[in-house]
Amino acid sequence: MKHLTIVVPEGQDNLSSIIGPYNIFSRANEYRRESGKGDLFTIRLAGISRKMDFDDGLFSIKPHVDISAIAKTDLIIIPSVDHNSEKAIKGNKVLIDWIVEQYKNGAAVASICTGAFVLASSGLLNGKHCSTHWEAAEDFRKMFGSVTLQTDRLITDENGIYTNGGAYSFLNLIIYLIEKYYDRQTAIFCSKIFQVEIDRQSQSAFIIFNGQKTHGDEMVKKAQGHIESKPQEKISITELSSKFAVSRRQFDRRFIRATGNTPLEYAQRVKIEVAKKNLETTRKTINEIMYEVGYSDVKAFREVFRKITGLTPLEYKERYNKESVVTI
């Protein structure tokens, strides 16, 4: 029998990302028993404290065992942690060292949402791809420059390390792992029982683009402000760089270093965020919205919109604006 360890880190802030995996894997075991087979996993919660309180003591969890009592496990799940990620990392050094040792001994490791900060601090994500909550992306990039962050991805799977996007999207990761370790039939059953959409790949449609402003490059901040103030205009990046008296090459380099996007990508994201809000809240046609954010070519607008959100403008409007009459 395999062993699944759901760790309970210090500073953990989301009870559901512990209870959810526990319940779904337990139900997968039950379904396997109903088909005449034994449990695939022994499931244990493990931490470094005897009890963890949540929501100002309203709820609490008592891990089955101390992490030091587990000599070997096959799969580790790291739940989300407090958004004060540096504090969470400092408070979990013993846990992090244990995860590294287990991975070296053959265990697979999966992180949920901001649990990626704990996983990345172990060094196990260096040179690999990873996802986390889109809202934490800027902080993650600053802290872990050797990890390739892909916030559009709902799930990453690389060399026995799994990560997922934000909040309750962890349910999709658990269904993914159920299929990986049990089989497709069990995954479909669990997806139906827990009503989780199976095979979802992206969290792009949920991302709210607010721009990356915590960097210290004042020139780039001014350029961002200029781009954001003119979503209806087709901005020339060459002219914008000249406005700040720097070469186009230097402008691009500084912009990418500060924001993680090229100036063109940033302008596209600003325009698409404005378009999304219009699609959500107005009865304007897609063509009207397209013109208002500086596009005149329907195909080009649709391609950029889909690249950023994972949906076409029509699909987005149908999903998020129930009151509108959708017309092109």
CA distances (Å), origin 31, targets 37, 43, 246: 9, 15, 64
Query: pLDDT at residue 189 above 90?
Result: yes
- Interatomic CA distance for residues 137 and 108, integer angstroms: 24
- Interatomic CA distance for residues 29 and 3, integer angstroms: 12
pLDDT digits over 15-46, tens only? 999 999 999 999 999 999 999 999 999 999 99
- Interatomic CA distance for residues 244 and 224, integer angstroms: 12
Query: pLDDT at residue 325 above 80?
Result: no
- Interatomic CA distance for residues 168 and 20, integer angstroms: 9
- Predicted pLDDT of residue 1: 93
Percent of the chain with pLDDT over 90: 83
DSSP string covering 131-186 = ---GGGHHHHHHH-TTSEE-TTBSEEEETTEEEE-SGGGHHHHHHHHHHHHS-HHH
What is residue 267's three-state secondary structure?
helix
Q: Which residue has the higher pLDDT, 324 or 128?
A: 128
| pLDDT bracket for residue 326 (50, 70, 90) | very low
On the 0-12 / 13-18 / 19+ scale of CB atoms within 10 A, 104 is: exposed
- Predicted pLDDT of residue 328: 47
Write out the residue limits of the CATH 3.40.50.880 domain(s) in the chain. Answer: 2-206
Domain 2-206 fold is: Rossmann fold (3.40.50)
Q: Average pLDDT, whole number, for the chain? A: 93
- pTM more than 0.75: yes
Q: What is the CATH number of domain 218-320?
A: 1.10.10.60
- Predicted pLDDT of residue 324: 56
Write out the residue limits of the CATH 1.10.10.60 domain(s) in the chain. Answer: 218-320
| pLDDT bracket for residue 155 (50, 70, 90) | very high
Q: Which phi-psi region, left, alpha or beta, contains residue 178 (left: φ > 0; alpha: ψ -120 to 50)? A: alpha
- Predicted pLDDT of residue 86: 86
Query: pLDDT at residue 91 above 60?
Result: yes
